[in-house]
Amino acid sequence: MKKLLLLAPFLMFLAACSNEFDVTTNWKEIPVAYAFLSPQDTAHYIRVEKAFFDSEKSALEIAQIPDSLYYPESDIAVYLQRVSTNQLFQLYRVDGTQEGFPRKGGIFATQPNYLYKVRNTEMDSLRRGEPYRLVIKRADGKPDITAQTTIPRDFAFQRPNPSTIPPIVFFDPGKDVRVEWRGDTNSTYFNLMFNIRYREESGDGSVLGRDTLTWVVATNLKRGSSIINTPFGPFYRTEHLVPSDNFFRFLAENIQPTTDKFRYFEFMSITLLGGGKEIEDLLLVASANAGLTGAEILPAYTNLSEGFGLFTARNSTTLQNVLIDIRTVDKMNQSPLTQGLNFRY
């Protein structure tokens, strides 16, 4: 959940455009809601607020008044609905700061910091491949506010080949490492990360310590267009070519040279983080507006039945125990960038 609240890089512009809603029309209640569901999360949080307008006061002044941001607790009830069974799971209001998710300072008041929460165990866990609906019920009898998304299925790595035990990656300067995977129709944009583990030893072989470097290889990767038919439905083939030179550069920028200790690669892991198809809709709206009008203010995309916001889902899959080929170490010791890191095998 922490990663969701910080947002993956391909979602970062949501924060930039989330304050661009035009609420300077005749006053009416304008609900605003955001949620990023993930089956990996132990709890699910939804931010539900309201937009506001006052002809007598500055919007910047009102933004610092919590009562102008949040519905009274008795005015709404927030649910997640499993569409396949119509089960409703109620979320309860909590203070995000006390949950470990403080709101960044800025235009809006930071305290209180209300979110709506339900534990994954209370929902019998989010089910991959199934649709879920956000339902916000209002006590004044107005229609429910709804939105729907589908949890992406797990991604299937093809390269490195998971059937090879262990999967092997060879970083060779001037050449690319191909990462290939399959994903269903509910994931359209991906982040790709390598978690590189290594240990340090003294000259007598005693272990001095271990470290893990997280290398964000690529963000905002668009899903491929090639379709593979499977018993679970169509899956899309996507690949990304990772320049080996970037691997050498990353190590050189994040590990200090040494002459009094030796370093050894341990198994690394490769993680894919895939975002729901609503992200594609949002990006298409933004790109169309920029291309046609060149406007600096992006249009307010929403998939809520009323108001503004984004209800979407993500999933992640990690390929564990990937071996860095020993030939990579030979290449590192020949490269001016990395030969001072003192890696051995």
pLDDT in tens, 276-314: 888 888 777 766 554 444 444 445 679 999 999 999 999
Of 304, 284, 197, 186, give the one whose Cα is nearest residue 235.
Answer: 186
More confident residue, 167 or 29: 167
Q: What is the pTM of this model?
A: 0.81
List the single range of 44-53, 189-198, 236-245, 315-324 with lowest mean pLDDT.
Answer: 44-53
List the single range of 95-104, 234-243, 316-325 with lowest mean pLDDT.
Answer: 95-104
SS3 content of the chain, % helix, strand, coil (to 5): 20, 45, 40
pLDDT digits (tens, 9 = 90+) for 79-106: 999 999 999 999 999 999 999 988 776 5
CB atoms within 10 A of CB 259: 6
Cα-Cα-Cα-Cα dihedral of 147, 150, 152, 153, to 10°? 160
Number of C-alpha atoms within 13 angstroms, CB side, residue 283?
14
> In sequence order, what E strands does 139-296 have?
145-150, 156-159, 168-169, 176-183, 187-201, 207-222, 226-230, 233-243, 262-265, 268-276
pLDDT digits (tens, 9 = 90+) for 157-167: 999 999 999 99
Q: Which tokens is 72 given?
A: 């009274």
